[in-house]
Structure 1
Amino acid sequence: MATVIATYPPVGQVTRLSGSDLTFHAVLETPRELAAEPWQLALYHSSNEGGEWTEVAFLPGSPDVGPSELHEASDATTRLYFSAKLALQSQLNFTVKSRQGPDHEWRWIRTEQGVEDGLVVVDKKATAEGDSDDLPDLIRDLNPDLRWKAEQSQSPGTRLWSIDATVDAAKEHESTYADVPLGVPWGGFSRWFALVRPWAPWLAPRQGKTCFKIDKDALFCSFLSPGGKHLVFLGMSGVGDVITLFRSGVDGRLMLHIRNDHATAATGTALVAVGDDFESALASVMYHARTLVTATSVSAADAPTEPEAQGGIQPEWYEQWYDGLGYCTWNSLGQNLTEEKVLDAVDTLAENNINISYLILDDNWQDIDDRGRGQWQHGWNDFGASPKAFPHGLKKLVSNIRHKHKNIQHIAVWHALLGYWAGLAPEGPLAKRYKTVQVTREGSENDQAPVDNTMTVVAKEETGKFYDDFYRFLASCGVDGVKTDAQYMVDTWPSPATRRDLVVAYQDAWTLASLRHFRNRVISCMSQAPPLIFHSQLPATRPPVVCRNSDDFLPADPASHAWHLFANAHNALLTRHLNVLPDWDMFQTAHAHAGPHAAARCVSGGPVYITDPPGAHDAALVRQMTAVTPRGRTVALRPSTPGRALDVYVGFGDPAALLKVGAYHGRALPGGTPIVGLFNVADRAVAEVVPLARFPGVAAAQGEGARYVVRSHVTGKVTPPVGVGEAGSLLSVRLGVRGYDVLCAFPLTRAREVWVANLGLVGKMTGCAAVVNTVYKVLENGRVLVDATLKALGVLGIYISTLPELSIWDDFMVTIQGQPIPAHTVSVNKHDKHVLDVDIEAAWKEMELKSGWGNEVEVKVYFGLKERN
């Protein structure tokens, strides 16, 4: 059966345009025996809701002037391309129908694929600072009791306001709440997006259409107008013991939900920005929020820290601890953690040639009591490891690991912010050593309440000493990092006095101690609670920390994996504006969903660490995520700019949409590499046409006249040179269930009549991240030089538009570190005849090269230009 598998603009999604003329594209997949039939396609559209629907015929096109195919059809099918032009005046609702010829019935894409109509919105006027619209013009029925004023936006193409509402003083034993109507954004909108608190530690995305309705309180939300503009709302927290969130009210109205922990009446604040671009509008409210928090919050954690003792400068001095490949014991070894299991796990990794750089001992290494029903009710006894599970102690374990496995440079341990899940053991040594207080928790999710709903925690005046003593102990054992979990617990205390006394105190004491003892080699986990986000993660007054970006990876829950990717990609829209490195959590390589998880970690820009059960490894997948440096260290190939979702208004499991995660690596425009990770989070195959213009940074680079080649990691296919606006810059992709791909758009350099680009390490998901620098030159003798510096070994790919006309034997010279490499390590890529493969890893080993002081490798590729008549 033939079917329209994809359109651009996409059916079932929203597309925003700034111009009035639009070319629609459609891809029809048909059995090969039917390819010659007189296929007809029609664009069925209406210029407004409830208006008259009319149709425009698509015209057939040839493959060489249609979208670029990066995923080939099966042997039994072929793809046909059609286009239709339309002049737009306002928003347009549309769908597509097709038939085999005039004598056949029309078949609708909405019926075949189960997708709703597409929507195209036209933004006729760019947002500017001097626009006459004010906040009441943008929010219908704006509550007159609210106080609002215009603010100076720090994000171009946006306008900004603050909205204040008064909330009464907190009572003696409970906070005061206020639910304040705000109004209806735009007076009606086309789509909305929000990040909500599904439960206390985490954030998660929600999307909808014309009616705003959320099941949980939202930290921020955005609304798309019928004219294509974005109105973004951010609730402020971390200032004056007040938390401001959002709720949906009657008829989908936006509500402020304000909590006051202060002993006097206070003000809840929301920031509102309007812009033509969602990310610019979000940046506007985030920049202003940082300004407000920084101006009102000076914490102990901002104080200078003691420098850590250092030896001589090492070649890896500029690398971060998380640049290597990591291993965590949580899902791999479980909670019944023992010394024997840990040693066996690291031995098995080494036996499988998986060379990790850091190890995380997760929950259950500590000395805890057995009070209550389980971990949520257990308390922490003392600093040392569990005597039963670790009979030789923590120091001996760490010493053994470091002695035997020199590749493991960093060892971190897990602990809860308050010690353990229920705090300190009430009768344990720690509770007797430090001054403590009893605090009550609110009703807990999933039966996670401590015994009698009460926790024993260190008192405010000794939090600094508590963390300093603990981290000094860990350092004496050879531990040089921590994963500090359950940080949200401080946001579960109902008493306003307790919250005022302890929430900030614990954050500051932990931050200061981690800086002093571990130089920020920490992972902040379960810390997406508003008081923590605004106080500890938003200000840029301290080095950034690695921060968990979503709820856990759950290997045994098949339904969780697609959602895990979706939630991380959308949470990253916010976290990329914080002073953190988003961490998409560990995963397992020998797992049914391992491929998409691995690709997601690569495009996330965050750390890459695995949690494989001993012996259950996919070494080939590990090699796609990592590379070996000239000094023998395994590093993760992380883009320099974190990945985030590109389609914020597309809901989870939309049958017509792939999850698209955009990232960027390298220098500022032009010259860096835009990246888009594609993930099928639906329960069936999904095809799309993805414009090159959607890649981060590409549209801005068009002012430079930039041209690109786009490469698929999965298929190895490379497009011809394309620029934005050309038919070939539309990328036709199709992914099966659990399918994924990573597309990299490599900027081209013109060397006389030749287009050249450094593709980085081909065979790696984000091989562009191995590139440190590339210089292109036309030499005096007329030859072209590609001078590439890389931080790791592998197969280097060089795109050369005239490569099919050249001879590797006669026209090329390649050197590594100034020495000619063996000829057999240079070849033409098997997937594309325009790509030269240079196996620098094989050459390095065969030539027995040494890294010396540096940890980079320089590859020079010289080639001649064919004379043209």
Structure 2
Amino acid sequence: MALCPRVTTYPPLGKATVLPNASEVQITVIIEWERDRQYPFELELLYAEAATAGHPTSWKKQPVPSSGSPSIVLDPDGTYNTASFTGSFLLNELSPATSEDGSTHIVFTVQYRRDKFDAWKYVKAAQGIETGEFIVPVISSQDPSISESLSLENSWEACELDIAGGTQVWQLTSSEKIAKSQQDDTVLEEIVLGRINRQLRFMAITRIEPFWIGCEHDREHFYISNDGLLLSFLSTTGKCVTLLALNEADDVYTVFRSSSDGSIIVAGRNDGLAELPLQVLVAISPDKQASISAVLSQARQKVSKRPKFQAFIETAHAQSLSKPEISFFDNMGYCTWNGLGQDLTRARLLDGLKTLAAQGVKFNTLLIDDNWQSLGKTGLDFSEPGFRGWSRFEANEEGFPGGLGSVITEIKKRYPWIQYVGVWHALLGYWGGLSHDTEFTSNYKTRMVRAKLRLNTPGDVLIIDPDDIHRFYDDFYSFLRSSGVDFVKTDVQHMLGQLVDPKDRSEVPTAFQSAWTSAYLKHFEGRAISCMSEIPQILGHSFLQDKTPKILLRNSDDFFPEIPGSHPFHLFVNAHNALLTQHLNCIPDWDMFQTSHAYSSYHGAARAISGGPVLITDEPGSHDVALIDEMAALSPAGRRIAIRPGVATTVDMWDSFAAGQMLRIGASTASGAGILGLFNIADGVREALIPVHDLFAGAEAPGAILVRSYKTGQIFAPQTPLEKLVKVKCATRGWDVLTGYPLTKVGSRNVAILGLTNKISGAAAVTQLEVTDNVISLSVKALGRLSWYLEGDQSAPGKIIVDGKHELNIDTVSAEPAGNSGTLYAVDLEELWRTRDLWRDGLATIEVRIIL
């Protein structure tokens, strides 16, 4: 800790916080210092109306009285003293004047001194902490016009589409039409849209590379360095304005850009036959998540009317023979990419699996990544892997003698716990498409297209012609299925957006998406991973619908074990990209990672709560088995599964990565618990005061809540969400997961079901929960330390019955004091399953009844 005391506030400094329906504002401050000295600290709030604020030293001042400490997650690595201050200030005292719409916008900071003889220390000067802002919006009974939030140029017309729950949606259409493109893919026509009124912050989902999306942030001036897909703005009125670049016509590509004066530009390209306008969807809401949800919902309706989309759905339904096996997404898996390297062979694969099994690392899903395919020349530089082409269905003879089916048969024979084996391939064949003069050119109609390959290098790429692509994919996946393949990871899909010729751009993307979707539904029952596919031509087409089953979508750029600075950014980008991808027809996949690594638990905790799969790529012999056990659990059928909550997203979408604020990632569970992951993305210690209601971001918080820290096991109960704060500290690479559980009355006492407390996302193991009279009935999908909290002394429960017939001895139930006045009970379901040999194939969940 630095010599200066550390100051943590709520509302937080360095951020903009919206406080809805507030007539008074409560400011809480914790001052923490390491030295064993007793100081009678004094604290003052400095504040001003944002419109007239100068330097904080000229702002108004209010003393903040000392108070009892909020709940504090203990820091096991250090000793420190704390002083707590809480003050409630009437809004009309802080800001007698309001803006034209009636909202209040205050900037604030604090200053402190150790005692009355010490000089006041302004917190930014002492610690570099920026000022904070809070907005108190006014809820109006009238529906405002779009002009109150967005100043449109005259070349745009607005049509209101929907209003529900305080969220309004418009479609904006340009009066200027754009003709059929005769240019390559980089030439877009630009039309200035307008500017956001009273802009305070913005977050943009942009195309940071041709194949990945990411996020950009700033404050009052709108500027993005990459083409944008989705823009969200926070205004000083407290409202969120979200814009989605989408055209309801086929073959129109639309993105956002920015001008030097901060205006929003819509840029587009028309690959269709007729002249068409550019279009944008806009949603305005006091709820930032609701505004994003609204534009995606309207976009889905628009896309469903496109002729090419309707043909896509009709074909997909005709080829789909069965529904997907949803449990596939829960399986813990292993990928060969980083762990076994890119020089993959049958011998290396089998040797690696042997070492993994000997180390006790067992998984249900195996992905054989790149370098199994047979490759040939393409007319480009064969020494560059990105320019090679695919030459036949069967695996390469040098690395896989005996073929693909032989090695898969051997794998499943040796390791019966591996339920699914999948293979990687590129959508067009390989990185450079198809090799010339092969069985493909003999058996299928092909087409030479001009496309931009790796590093945007233009080249001639041989592909299957759209007229024959359905037959090709049906044959290819028939071969894979006959070889024992159970799923596919289809990569390099961004090539559909790298085509240069307008005719190819119009004909190729939708045909390939239709053929691929139909084939994986028919042959693999929906078991597929879509990768490098975060491009508008795919996100706004095959993923912007809910007519086919969901599949896994790689949600961000790769995990790079050798680049230390990439790890915090990887989590940050995934959490922001999920703001968009959570509304698509997919389950976001945060990519594989290694468990024996400086950032292993950091990545592992994020994967556990992400709502997506847990996929590792360990080098054989380098494992953290304890971390694997924390991320995953055995199912009642004996399979190792990820305990997936709902899709997780960032809670603080206005915070930039450069600001270094604690990254907060929120998810929900089927049983009503709320999960909030906390990750330090900066060097050095970071602290945060967490409002209990933030654990239930996106949903209404229960009236009484129990909060548990995963890292320390501390329990805080009962908590009232509108009043209570929890303080968390994380060192470099540090993290914690707070879980909030609804407290339910049983007689005169509160009870909460915590799920599996030895698992990071253990609350998500509870799939159903019912409390009636003195009986708690629940279903769990995984085994571990099942825990529940009961207010009062450590009296033993009456009975615990598992799976309808197995009554547990009371002496197998542990009990320990928890919270202010309660008891935490626990029973080890995994130990029960082992000692009684209760494993049963096909058993997805078990029932537990706790009779008090």
Measure, in 2, the Cα distance between the counterparts of 1:111 and 1:302.
Answer: 64
Query: Among residues 101, 113, 117, which one is paired with 2:127 in the alignment?
Result: 113
1:264, distance to aligned residue in structure 2 (A): 2.9
SS of the equivalent of 2:521 reads helix
SS of the equivalent of 2:51 reads coil
Quote the RMSD (CA, aligned, Å).
2.0
1:330-368 C-alpha deviation (Å, 9 max, x unpaired):
111121111111112222222222221111111110001
1:800 aligns with 2:790: yes
Give the direction of change, closer, same or farther, for the CA distance of 1:319–1:182 in structure 2 (3 Å limit): closer
- Could you say which residue in structure 2 is the equivalent of 1:679? 679
**Letter aligned with residue 192 of structure 2:** P
Measure, in 2, the Cα distance between the counterparts of 1:795 and 1:225.
Answer: 46
1:305, distance to aligned residue in structure 2 (A): 3.8
Measure, in 1, the Cα distance between the counterparts of 2:579 and 2:844.
Answer: 33
Measure, in 1, the Cα distance between the counterparts of 2:816 and 2:699.
Answer: 29
1:173, distance to aligned residue in structure 2 (A): 5.0
1:79, distance to aligned residue in structure 2 (A): 1.9
Assess if the C-alpha contact under 8 Å between 2:491 and 2:532 holds in 1.
Answer: yes
Assess if the C-alpha contact under 8 Å between 1:242 and 1:267 holds in 2.
Answer: no
**Letter aligned with residue 755 of structure 1:** N
Measure, in 2, the Cα distance between the counterparts of 1:209 and 1:343.
Answer: 53
1:277-326 C-alpha deviation (Å, 9 max, x unpaired):
1111111111111100001231234332456589xxxxxx9752121111
Measure, in 1, the Cα distance between the counterparts of 2:217 and 2:719.
Answer: 34
Measure, in 1, the Cα distance between the counterparts of 2:248 and 2:493.
Answer: 15
Measure, in 2, the Cα distance between the counterparts of 1:415 and 1:699.
Answer: 40
- Could you say which residue in structure 1 is the equivalent of 2:100? none
Give the direction of change, closer, same or farther, for the CA distance of 1:237–1:685 in structure 2 (3 Å limit): farther
1:75, distance to aligned residue in structure 2 (A): 4.8
1:75-121 C-alpha deviation (Å, 9 max, x unpaired):
53122211122223411101111110111122222133322110101
- Could you say which residue in structure 2 is the equivalent of 1:25? 28
1:497, distance to aligned residue in structure 2 (A): 0.8
SS of the equivalent of 2:343 reads coil
SS of the equivalent of 1:425 reads coil
SS of the equivalent of 1:475 reads helix
Give the direction of change, closer, same or farther, for the CA distance of 1:558–1:302 in structure 2 (3 Å limit): farther
- Could you say which residue in structure 2 is the equivalent of 1:743? 738
- Could you say which residue in structure 1 is the equivalent of 2:808? 821
Assess if the C-alpha contact under 8 Å between 1:395 and 1:477 holds in 2.
Answer: yes
**Letter aligned with residue 740 of structure 1:** W
1:179, distance to aligned residue in structure 2 (A): 1.1
Q: How many residues align?
A: 823
1:673-708 C-alpha deviation (Å, 9 max, x unpaired):
111111111112110111112123586245xxx211
Give the direction of change, closer, same or farther, for the CA distance of 1:172–1:256 in structure 2 (3 Å limit): closer
- Could you say which residue in structure 2 is the equivalent of 1:725? 722
Measure, in 2, the Cα distance between the counterparts of 1:44 and 1:684.
Answer: 27
**Letter aligned with residue 654 of structure 1:** A
1:654 aligns with 2:659: yes
With normalisation by structure 2, the TM-score equals 0.93
1:601, distance to aligned residue in structure 2 (A): 0.8
- Could you say which residue in structure 1 is the equivalent of 2:457? 449
Measure, in 2, the Cα distance between the counterparts of 1:469 and 1:741.
Answer: 48
Measure, in 2, the Cα distance between the counterparts of 1:192 and 1:857.
Answer: 46
- Could you say which residue in structure 2 is the equivalent of 1:298? 310
1:599 aligns with 2:596: no
Measure, in 1, the Cα distance between the counterparts of 2:214 and 2:350.
Answer: 36
- Could you say which residue in structure 2 is the equivalent of 1:857? 846
**Letter aligned with residue 777 of structure 2:** D
78-87 or 171-180: which moved more? 171-180
What are the residue-to-residue correspondences of 1:461-476 with 2, within 5 Å? 461-476=467-482
Assess if the C-alpha contact under 8 Å between 1:4 and 1:109 holds in 2.
Answer: no
SS of the equivalent of 1:250 reads coil
Query: Among residues 509, 516, 537, which one is paired with 1:503 in the alignment?
Result: 509
Query: Among residues 563, 568, 575, which one is paired with 2:574 in the alignment?
Result: 568
Query: Among residues 188, 208, 221, which one is paired with 2:231 in the alignment?
Result: 221
Measure, in 2, the Cα distance between the counterparts of 1:334 and 1:305.
Answer: 39
What are the residue-to-residue correspondences of 1:312-711 with 2, within 5 Å? 319-369=326-376, 372-442=382-452, 444=453, 446=455, 449=457, 453-639=459-645, 641-655=646-660, 657-666=661-670, 671-696=671-696, 700-702=700-702, 706-711=703-708
Give the direction of change, closer, same or farther, for the CA distance of 1:445–1:375 in structure 2 (3 Å limit): closer
1:399-419 C-alpha deviation (Å, 9 max, x unpaired):
001111111111110000000
Runs of at least 5 residues in structure 1 that lack an aligned partner in the other structure: 311-316, 779-783, 864-869
Assess if the C-alpha contact under 8 Å between 2:794 and 2:815 holds in 1.
Answer: no
Measure, in 1, the Cα distance between the counterparts of 2:571 and 2:603.
Answer: 7
1:135, distance to aligned residue in structure 2 (A): 2.5
SS of the equivalent of 1:119 reads strand
1:654, distance to aligned residue in structure 2 (A): 1.8
712-721 or 811-820: which moved more? 811-820
- The percent of aligned pairs where both chains have the same amino acid is 34
**Letter aligned with residue 643 of structure 1:** A
SS of the equivalent of 2:297 reads helix
SS of the equivalent of 1:441 reads strand
What are the residue-to-residue correspondences of 1:236-275 with 2, within 5 Å? 236-237=246-247, 239-275=249-285
- Could you say which residue in structure 1 is the equivalent of 2:191? 180
1:737-780 C-alpha deviation (Å, 9 max, x unpaired):
111111111111111221111100111001011112233233xx
1:10-69 C-alpha deviation (Å, 9 max, x unpaired):
00001001213111000111236323x211111111112333611111111123xxx211
Measure, in 2, the Cα distance between the counterparts of 1:855 and 1:272.
Answer: 42
Give the direction of change, closer, same or farther, for the CA distance of 1:364–1:853 in structure 2 (3 Å limit): closer
Measure, in 2, the Cα distance between the counterparts of 1:552 and 1:318.
Answer: 26
With normalisation by structure 1, the TM-score equals 0.91
80-89 or 467-476: which moved more? 80-89
Runs of at least 5 residues in structure 2 that lack an aligned partner in the other structure: 96-103
- Could you say which residue in structure 2 is the equivalent of 1:46? 48
261-270 or 475-484: which moved more? 261-270
Measure, in 2, the Cα distance between the counterparts of 1:856 and 1:630.
Answer: 7
1:439, distance to aligned residue in structure 2 (A): 0.8
Measure, in 1, the Cα distance between the counterparts of 2:760 and 2:136.
Answer: 36
Assess if the C-alpha contact under 8 Å between 1:17 and 1:122 holds in 2.
Answer: yes
Assess if the C-alpha contact under 8 Å between 1:361 and 1:414 holds in 2.
Answer: yes
Measure, in 2, the Cα distance between the counterparts of 1:76 and 1:159.
Answer: 51
Give the direction of change, closer, same or farther, for the CA distance of 1:652–1:75 in structure 2 (3 Å limit): closer
